[in-house]
Structure 1
Amino acid sequence: MIAAHTILNYIFFCSYWLIILLVTYKILIKRRAIPSSMAWLLIIYVIPLIGAITYLLFGEYNLGKHRSNRIKIAWNSTMDRIKKLKTYKHIFPTKHSRIAASLFKLCEHRQGIGALKGNKIQLFKQTQDTILSIIKDIELAKNSIDMVFYIWESGGLVDQVITKLITAAKKGIRCRILLDSAGCANFFNSSYPDIMRQSGINIVEALHVNLLRIFLRRMDLRQHRKMILIDDHIAYTGSMNMVDPQIFKQNIGIGQWIDIMVRIDGPVTSAMSIIFSSDWAVETGQYSLFPLLLNPCTNTHKVITGHTIQIIPSGPGYPEGIMHQILLMSLYEARKKLIITTPYLIPSDDLLYAICTAAQRGVEVHIIIPKYNDSILVKWASRAFFSELLNAGVLIHQFQNGLLHVKSVLIDQQISLIGSVNLDIRSLWLNLEITLIIDSKDFSNKLEKIQNNYINLSQKLDPKKWANRPCWERIVERLFYFLSPLL
């Protein structure tokens, strides 16, 4: 007679390998980058049980049933509003620069709308100036204030923003704030949300982190956009979270966070309003039943002048991989000079090859990254790409005056990409992000001055010194490079 423990061992053995085989099947059946698939397969067979659980938590693009249904409904509503916006023919440009033409065509094909002209732009390089401008616009608001941020930390100038929002809400102005659950964990654990809600501000916790549902929805999928809309007329976006850098994360010893933001007055704010309405609907189930609100510049058939901007939302519910496509096309379009600023440099193989190819065909390529980073995983994973970039002739500058959090790409002093997207797998394929493509030599010159200032405050990586770094560093770099497809 077979002992009970023998039967239990047999059941455990069969269940164990059944889980491993099922996860293996899920990895193989899904079309993904080969390095990513190989990394996952190696992990589940080297550390089988932990590897399988990790894959079930982070390996699938699982949004949850309710969220997936809401995304489908929101997308249909988004397309209806885009069709309405496209009836205003005068806000769509007919001429573009050489580089912009193909980029805008791709965007129009994939997301249903191209670039919009007639936008006034103001570029902020200091967070303090940005927040003070936001405060002024909140004071002048008449109808609505909508915000979405990954991180919101009270204290310093941010408290002034909160005070102005409370005042606006009490005057009857509709205030809606969408904040990421993980990034704003400290804020949601404070007394501020209750105080703000009592004044009439509608605050929603986006992508709520719930450990009881970790196998039902991917918990590391985050709302990473940074966006403000005031009266569907004024818009802000860029790399800045709603924090005061003079007090934010000052205990980790990397200095102040450096960001840039763009203030926009013009037709593109209508497109950004559509994005916010979609995000709000997915989180709350409250779909916009009202017609598209058009700002004064859009709601006229006079010839309008100003900058041409393409808005690109990315993440769940939007065309898959669109930002990856845009970046690849941008890199291959470069002919003279390419400047990239990013806090997290973990490019895909395709992007790495495109950057190296640009340098090898004679393009002057600069990458500016922070010397000190808030993530040790990202720090070491980034270093694994340095040798290949340096060998191709790419100039790598390590910013030394704080954590350079700016996400920007400048192409041939004509095209500027600014937004919330980091040059890593997570931003390009997972998180909810927003990016602007600005076709303007005048604006690009302003951005280049800021980037040149970053370069002056950086230490250029010496290829010879880098080649002679200690062996143990190379080993650590390769270890994190192995994990880079999963970061």
Structure 2
Amino acid sequence: MDWSFGTALFILDWAIRLAALLWIPSRTSPAAARSWMRLLVGFVPLLGLPLYLLLGHPWLSRERVLRQARASDVIREEQRPLSALRWMPPGGAAAEMAPLIERQGAFMPTHGNAVQLLDDYDISLRALLDDIGAAKQQVHLLYYLMFDDAVGDAVTDALCAAVQRGVACRMLLDAVGAKRGLRRYRARLRAAGVDVHELLPGGLRWRRSGRMDLRNHRKIAVIDNVVGFVGSQNLASATFVPGHPNRELVARVQGPVVSHLEAVFASDWYIETGERLAVQPACDVQPPDVAAQLVPSGPAYPFENARDTVNALIHLARHRIVLTTPYFVPDDATLSALRIAALSGVDVQLVLSATNNQTLTAWAQQSYYEELLACGVKIALYRPHFLHAKHLTVDDDIALVGSINLDIRSFALNAEIGLVCYGPDVVSRIRAVEADYLAHADTVDAAAWRARPGWQRSREGIARLADSLM
């Protein structure tokens, strides 16, 4: 090697290391920064620094962040005259949670909502299609995944028929999650008059979006500003991943919270297209008068709203908390919250799926079991289906249902949505669903888990190194 070239390479190598030392820790959590510094930048700086710039920091374009801030300001302003709809927490955990959620996500808690829980995959889909079929004014759909299968066909048919009746139909689909659905249905939907846009597009447009692997993971439907759907179920058949038939939980809602779901859709529409949609400020109050509040989250917000909500709920639990998720790769704060709750005497039950469609995630997930079991957290693995539902219940007071997984991707990288319900009504109904999970689940035994072979421990540890990408 020529001496001058070698000197230049040596200087460049150390220049990248020093630049990374100054840049990465200021824009990344300490744990993630250490991983990037050790794994890539420290070993192969010429490769590591470009990879970090692409994947190391959950950045969005400045315009998208500004549009989210503007949308949140509009939401706060338009709620001010609606004091009659505001629910005032009587005390306890709700009195602490409601202000936190409102300050972060802009939505106040409202009374007068009706919440129907749909635990059957086909019934949930049928309810959505029936409501689209009955729409008179507008249909707004925002989904992470739309597959090119019988469900995609049915949804497309329903939207095309609605347009023919004079209904305004708009659709937002994630550019990656709904890639197959967009490829198959976009031209037909647009030709019929459905306004379709992809969220966070990649390719040559990625710099106008943000980090290449940021995704909009929400699942929302709003029909005529009267009925809304929010939960874990995508626009796909239950068996769209062979060998992993999904089990989901969806909330069909009526009441003031529907207009808040509409505002989330309008915000994402504005962020993606620059077009502002008119949102009706409220819906009619509905029996049985459930108090509810939305938790929107994602990298466009200044804080990690989903993570903060989940962790606050864990810390506020006094007797029992049940957490159901298909993907469990927590950050340090969530792991600490679970440990403290269990050691404080709270009955902490984690319900996971015995099968998983993400092998690397499953291995990383298993690396947390031993620590959790040691401090008293119970872990159940549901057998019959791939449990894709995402919800939690705290004591008899609070329930959270939505698209939020208990992993770093949902907390920091994805746009997510959660519906918080206050009071025993919804909690007791979700408890019945949780009881069914547990009746068909295997409990992870601490002693047996500690006896697992060393190669499995190594596999889990290596998979865990990629936690910030999962």
TM class by shorter-chain length? over 0.9
Given that residues 314 and 323 in structure 1 are in contact (C-alpha distance below 8 angstroms), is that contact kept between their aligned partners in structure 2? yes
Aligned to 1:462: 445
Aligned to 1:249: 241
Relative to structure 1, the CA distance from residue 35 to residue 258 in structure 2 (aligned partners, 3 Å threshold; closer, same or farther) is same
Stretches of structure 2 lacking an aligned partner (at least 5 in a row): none
Aligned to 2:276: 287
Asked if 1:297 is matched to 2:251, the reply is no
Equivalent residue in structure 2 for 1:200, among 183, 187, 193? 193
Aligned to 1:259: 248
Aligned to 2:88: 94
SS of the counterpart of 1:374? coil
- CA distance in 2: counterparts of 1:451 and 1:377, whole angstroms: 26
Asked if 1:142 is matched to 2:136, the reply is yes
Mapping of residues 341-420 of structure 1, within 5 Å:
341-420=324-403
Cα deviations by residue, 1:171-205 (Å, 9 ceiling, x for unpaired): 22111110001111222232x21111100001101
Shifted more, 44-53 versus 199-208: the winner is 44-53
Alpha-carbon distance, 1:97 to partner: 5.3
Given that residues 96 and 439 in structure 1 are in contact (C-alpha distance below 8 angstroms), is that contact kept between their aligned partners in structure 2? no
- CA distance in 1: counterparts of 2:13 and 2:220, whole angstroms: 46
Aligned to 1:185: 179
Asked if 1:37 is matched to 2:33, the reply is yes
Cα deviations by residue, 1:321-372 (Å, 9 ceiling, x for unpaired): 1222211111111111111101111111111111111111211111011111
Alpha-carbon distance, 1:86 to partner: 2.5
Equivalent residue in structure 2 for 1:50, among 39, 47, 51? 47
- CA distance in 2: counterparts of 1:92 and 1:73, whole angstroms: 26
Aligned to 2:265: 276
Aligned to 1:23: 20
Aligned to 1:120: 114
Aligned to 1:453: 436
Aligned to 1:425: 408
Asked if 1:229 is matched to 2:222, the reply is yes
- CA distance in 2: counterparts of 1:479 and 1:262, whole angstroms: 37
- CA distance in 2: counterparts of 1:273 and 1:152, whole angstroms: 20
Match for 2:231: what amino acid? G
Mapping of residues 73-112 of structure 1, within 5 Å:
73-96=67-90, 98-112=92-106
- CA distance in 1: counterparts of 2:75 and 2:50, whole angstroms: 41
Aligned to 2:420: 437
Cα deviations by residue, 1:275-297 (Å, 9 ceiling, x for unpaired): 11110011111123x4x413441
Aligned to 2:233: 240
Given that residues 75 and 278 in structure 1 are in contact (C-alpha distance below 8 angstroms), is that contact kept between their aligned partners in structure 2? no
SS of the counterpart of 1:46? coil
Alpha-carbon distance, 1:476 to partner: 1.3
Match for 1:348: what amino acid? D
**Aligned-CA RMSD value:** 2.1
Match for 1:435: what amino acid? G
Q: TM-score, normalised by structure 1?
A: 0.91
- CA distance in 1: counterparts of 2:312 and 2:268, whole angstroms: 27
Given that residues 137 and 167 in structure 2 are in contact (C-alpha distance below 8 angstroms), is that contact kept between their aligned partners in structure 1? yes
Alpha-carbon distance, 1:396 to partner: 0.5
Alpha-carbon distance, 1:234 to partner: 0.9
- CA distance in 1: counterparts of 2:293 and 2:326, whole angstroms: 23
Cα deviations by residue, 1:3-49 (Å, 9 ceiling, x for unpaired): 9x55444444433433333223211333x432222111101212333
Asked if 1:156 is matched to 2:162, the reply is no
Alpha-carbon distance, 1:209 to partner: 1.6
- CA distance in 1: counterparts of 2:68 and 2:336, whole angstroms: 36
SS of the counterpart of 1:203? strand
Aligned to 2:295: 312
- CA distance in 2: counterparts of 1:144 and 1:215, whole angstroms: 29
Cα deviations by residue, 1:377-409 (Å, 9 ceiling, x for unpaired): 111111111001000111101111121111111
Match for 2:460: what amino acid? E
Alpha-carbon distance, 1:160 to partner: 1.8
Cα deviations by residue, 1:26-76 (Å, 9 ceiling, x for unpaired): 11333x432222111101212333322321111122223xxx224314432
Stretches of structure 1 lacking an aligned partner (at least 5 in a row): none
- CA distance in 2: counterparts of 1:132 and 1:97, whole angstroms: 38
Q: TM-score, normalised by structure 2?
A: 0.95
Alpha-carbon distance, 1:84 to partner: 1.9
Relative to structure 1, the CA distance from residue 101 to residue 79 in structure 2 (aligned partners, 3 Å threshold; closer, same or farther) is same
- CA distance in 2: counterparts of 1:455 and 1:225, whole angstroms: 27
Relative to structure 1, the CA distance from residue 305 to residue 369 in structure 2 (aligned partners, 3 Å threshold; closer, same or farther) is closer
Match for 1:37: what amino acid? A
Relative to structure 1, the CA distance from residue 147 to residue 58 in structure 2 (aligned partners, 3 Å threshold; closer, same or farther) is same
Alpha-carbon distance, 1:82 to partner: 2.8
Equivalent residue in structure 2 for 1:209, among 199, 202, 208? 202
SS of the counterpart of 1:432? strand
Relative to structure 1, the CA distance from residue 46 to residue 419 in structure 2 (aligned partners, 3 Å threshold; closer, same or farther) is same
Relative to structure 1, the CA distance from residue 212 to residue 174 in structure 2 (aligned partners, 3 Å threshold; closer, same or farther) is closer
